[in-house]
Structure 1
Amino acid sequence: MVVGDVLLDRDITGTADRLSPEAPVPVVSGTQTVNRPGGAGLAAVLAARTPGWRVTLVCGTGHDESGAQVRALLGEAGIEVIDLATGGTTPIKTRIRTADRTVLRLDTDTCPLPLGPLPELAHARLATAEAVLVCDYGRGITSHPELRQALTSAAAGRSLVWDPHPRGTAPVPGTALAVPNAEEAFAFSGHTGPRDLAGDTARAVRLLAIWPVKQLAITRGRNGAVLVTNPDGHPLAVPARYAAGDTCGAGDQLAVTAAMTLAAERLPSHAVAAAVEAATSYIEAGGPASLAVVPAPWCTGPLERAARVRAQGGKVVGAGGCFDLLHAGHLSLLDQARRLGDVLVVCINSDASVRRLKGESRPVVGERERAMLLTALNCVDGVIVFDEDTPARVLAELRPDIWVKGGDYAGQRIAEADLVESWGGEVVTVPFLDGHSTTGRIHHVAQRAGVR
C-alpha cells in the first residue's frame, strides 16, 4: 500500500551543441518527451516492479489532462488506484535534460487538491496490506483526517514507513521507520549543527523525540544513511557504494525497499542496508530511464543482469571456484577479471559440491556466507551457486564472453574451454599472487592450534 501525493513527471531530453545568441544558455534541440508518474506515483511503480507484490495507491490526481495521463500510466503499471480527489489540477515537474544532466527544471504551482472521504476499499486495503509506505510530497493528502486515522490503525498492526516532506505533516503514531533526507532532517529538527555524520545523528535523535516514530533513518545521498533506534545507543552508519547517474527517484526506491524489507520481518538495520543498496543500484541502472527496461536490473539475478549488459553490447566476464576462506589471491583474481569486461558473475561450488571435491572437512565457510562476501566486493556484480562438480550447467546459462582462471592454470587446457569456445567465448588466465592458498592457510591454522 502506497499513500501520498502524485505528480506528473516529464523529461524533455535532447542535444545541446551551441549557445543561444540571445544569452549564454544552451540551445537544446532534437528533443524527445517522456511522461511518467511522479511523487508517490513513482514509488508505487517501483514497488509494482518487485516480483510477487501487488500494489494499491491511495492518492489524489487532478481532474485535468495531466491527471488523466498519470492515471493511465499507473494503470499500465498494474497499480490499483484509489483516487480521493474531487477536482483540481495535477502538478507537473518538467526536467530539460541533455548529456545525462538536468539543465533546467520547471514546476507548475497548483493549489492542494480537494479531497473526498476515504472509501471503504481504502480501509479494507490498509487493513490487509503487508507493507504500508507513505510518500508525503507536501500537497496535502497526509493531512486528510480520516486517512490519518486509518494509517494510525494500520501502523498498530504492521510496519509503516514514512517518507516525509518539509511542507507535509508529521508521521502518524506508531510509524515503524521515518526516512527523511539530510536536508529535510535539517529543516524538521531545527538542529543547525554540522552537515556531517555526527550532525545528522544528532538531528535523528532530536526527531525521534519530536515524532511518534520507533526508528529514524536519515538518508545522506552518496554517503548512504544513518539509522537511530535508541537515543542512548550508537547510530548505525550505512555507507553507500559510489554510483554516478540520474538520482531522480532514488529516495522513493529506498523507501519502497525499506517498507518491503520490514514487511518480511527483517530488522530495521537490515531494511536500511537493503534500501541503500537498492537505491544505489537504481542510480547505476539509469534512474527513471531504467523504468523502460523490463525487468528492472536491481530486481533480477546475475543471469538477467548479464543478459542486459550483453544486449547493450557489453562483455560478460565469468569466474569460478570454491572461494572458501576469501583471501588476497581471490581478490586479485576477481579484480583483474572485472577489468576485462562490463559485468563479472562469479560461479561458486555449493557446500555439497565442495565436500565432494575437497573432503568432509570443507568448506570452512558455508555457501550463503561465501556468496554474501563475494557480492559485497565492488568488482563482483553477481554470484551463482552451483551444485554439480563442474560449472558446465551454469556456464551454458551464463554464456560468458570471457571465462577467467588464475595464472596457476597458465599453460594448461582449461576443462571448460571447449564449452566456452562453443558460443564464441574465450578462456584467459590472469596473474596470481603466489603464496596464497586456502588449503595452506587451513593447514597453517591447524598446526598453530596443535602447538597450543
Structure 2
Amino acid sequence: MLNILVVGDLILDEYLFCDCLRISPEAPVPVINPKYNKLSLGGCANVALNIKKLGANVDVLSVLGNDECANFIKKMLKENEINYEIISDKNKKSSKKTRIFGQNQQIVRIDVESCEVISDDMADCLFKNIEDKNYDAIVFSDYDKGVLSPYLVKKIISFAKNKNILTLADPKKDFLKFKDIDILTPNYKEATEFLGLFDDEDDDNLSKKLILMKEKLNIKYPLITLGKNGIALYNNNTLTRHLALAKEVFDVTGAGDSVISSLAYFLSRKKDINEAIKLANKAAAIVVSKIGSYAVSIDEINEFSEDDIYKKQVKNISEFVQKNKNKKIVFTNGCFDLLHLGHLSYLRKAKQLGDLLVIGLNSDESIKRLKGLARPINDINTRLAMLCALEFIDAVIVFSDDTPLEIIKELKPDILVKGADYKDKEIVGSNFAKQTCLIDFVDGYSSTNIINKIKETQC
C-alpha cells in the first residue's frame, strides 16, 4: 500500500445551515434561524482524508494550539485512521472556519485563527518525526497559517530529493519557498499574484506563464487550476488543457484539495501526468457538486461519466423530433475540424432562423473519404465536445455516410442551411426540408487555410 505524507495547516471546518426568510429591519442583512451544523476536517487534514479514501496510508505533520478545536481535529484524524505527528503550541490558536448557509447559499464565513510562522526550532522538531521514514509522496498543503515555514519546506524537499520521493504543493502566497518541488498546483488567482496577470484563455499567454513558473521554481510539472476552464499543464514543450468536467457547481470548497490529493495518489501509482490530471479533474467535478469538503473514493472516480460533455449529441432522431414537434428546427452540416471565426459567424446566423439549431457532424471515417487520410486533425470526440460547448447549438448528430441525407429524411427540418457557395447547386436533402437558406461565409477563414498556414510556419 502507498505511504503518503501530508504537511501543512490543519483547519476545522464548521458548516452552519440556517433558514433565511427575511431581511432585518435594523440593517440590510439577512435574519437567520440556525437549524443544524456539521463539523469536518479542513486544510491539510482534508487533503489527508482524500488520500486515505483513495486507498493509501497517510501521515499528517503539523502544529496546533492547545485548545478544544485541536482536540476535535485529532479525534477526527484518529477516527479516520490517519496517523499524525502534531506539536501543540500553547501560544497558537487552532484554525476554525465557520461557514453560514441560508437556503443552501453561503452568507458569511467566520475565521478564528493565528497565523504566526513557526520557529526553526519547532520546524526541526517536526522534521525529526519523519527523517527515518520512507514515503511514496509528500504533499505540502499551504493555507498560510504558519506551519509551512520556508525553513521547514526547504528541509523536507531536500530530504525528499535524496530519497527520490515525489513532492507536490498547493501554494497560497509564497511560491519561492517551494523551489525544486516536482509539482505545484496554484489556482488562477494565486498564479497571477506570483506571475503577473495573464489571459488564461490565450494559449500563448498561458504557455509563457507556465514556462516562467517552471524556470523560476525549477519544477518538473508546472500546472495551473483554472476553475471552470479546467487544468492547464505545460510538459515536453506542449501546453495541454484538461477541460473541467463539473456537471453542477454547488460549492467550490475543497476542489483544490481533491486535485492535489488525486495527483499525489495516482502519480504514486505510476500513472502518466496527463492521465493523473484527467482522474484529478473527475475528483474535482464530484467535490464541487457537494456542499462542503468531501473526500472522493476510487469507485466514485471510476464511475464518473464525462458524457455530459456530449449531452447535446442526439442518437435517436425520431425521439428528438417528437419531443420538439412544436419547435422550428434549423439544420446544417459539416466537418468542423478546426473551429474558427467563419464557423461561429455562420452558425450564429443559422440559429437566428429558428428555435433549435441541429448540426450534422461528419465522422472521422467520412472525413477521411472526403478530404484524405491526413484529416481530420481533431477526432470525433474533440469535434463533438467543441460543438456541444457552443451555447447557440442545441443538438449534434454524428453521421458516417458521405452526405447527411438519411438524417435530413428523418429530421425533416423546417430550414436547411448551407453556405452561399451552394448557389445554383443541388443541395442534398433539400426536398425533405420546408425551406432552404444560404448564408454567406466570412471571407478568408477555412480549416484548410489554417492547416496550410501551420505548415508554412514549420518550413
Q: TM-score range by the shorter chain?
A: 0.5 to 0.7
SS in 1 for 2:57: coil
- Cα displacement string for residues 357-398 of structure 1 (whole angstroms, at most 9, x for unaligned residues): xxxxxxxxxxxxxxxx99xx99xxxxxxxxxxxxxxxxxxxx
Structure-1 separation of matches of 2:61 and 2:240: 32
Structure-2 separation of matches of 1:433 and 1:133: 53
The count of residues paired between Structure 1 and Structure 2 equals 315
User: Are residues 298 and 141 of structure 1, via their aligned partners in 2, closer, same or farther at CA, if it must alter by over 3 Å?
Assistant: same
Which structure is richer in relative contact order (CA contacts within 8 A, separation 6 or more)?
A: 2
Gaps of 5+ in 2: 321-379, 386-405, 411-459
Task: Pick the structure with greater CA Rg.
Answer: 2
SS in 2 for 1:247: coil
Q: Find the counterpart in structure 1 of residue 32 from structure 2.
A: 28
- How far 1:218 moved relative to its partner? 0.3
Q: Find the counterpart in structure 1 of residue 235 from structure 2.
A: 229
Q: Find the counterpart in structure 1 of residue 253 from structure 2.
A: 248
Pick aligned residue for 2:263 from 238, 258, 264? 258
- How far 1:119 moved relative to its partner? 5.2
Does structure 1 retain, via aligned residues, the 8 Å contact 2:20–2:30? yes
Post-superposition, which runs of at least 4 consecutive aligned residues in structure 1 deviate over 6 A? Answer: 294-297, 432-436
Pick aligned residue for 1:42 from 37, 42, 46? 46
Pick aligned residue for 1:298 from 294, 297, 300? 300
SS in 2 for 1:288: coil
User: Are residues 228 and 433 of structure 1, via their aligned partners in 2, closer, same or farther at CA, if it must alter by over 3 Å?
Assistant: same
Q: Relative to total residues, which structure has the larger strand share, 1 or 2?
A: 2
Does structure 2 retain, via aligned residues, the 8 Å contact 1:136–1:168? no
Pick aligned residue for 1:160 from 162, 167, 170? 167
Structure-2 separation of matches of 1:38 and 1:235: 32
Residues 1:70 and 2:68 aligned together? no
Q: Find the counterpart in structure 2 of residue 280 from structure 1.
A: 285
TM-score, normalising length from structure 1?
0.62
- How far 1:172 moved relative to its partner? 4.2
TM-score, normalising length from structure 2?
0.61
- How far 1:225 moved relative to its partner? 0.9
- How far 1:299 moved relative to its partner? 4.8
Structure-2 separation of matches of 1:12 and 1:110: 22
Q: Find the counterpart in structure 2 of residue 332 from structure 1.
A: 315
Residues 1:60 and 2:68 aligned together? no
User: Are residues 282 and 193 of structure 1, via their aligned partners in 2, closer, same or farther at CA, if it must alter by over 3 Å?
Assistant: closer
Gaps of 5+ in 1: 306-326, 338-372, 379-431, 437-452
- How far 1:137 moved relative to its partner? 1.2
Structure-1 separation of matches of 2:40 and 2:131: 27
Does structure 2 retain, via aligned residues, the 8 Å contact 1:290–1:296? no
Q: Find the counterpart in structure 2 of residue 184 from structure 1.
A: 190
User: Are residues 147 and 186 of structure 1, via their aligned partners in 2, closer, same or farther at CA, if it must alter by over 3 Å?
Assistant: closer
Pick aligned residue for 1:194 from 174, 182, 199? 199
- How far 1:33 moved relative to its partner? 1.6
- How far 1:213 moved relative to its partner? 0.9
Map 1:291-440 to 2 at 5 A.
298-299=300-301, 301=303, 332=315
Q: Percent identity between the aligned chains?
A: 22
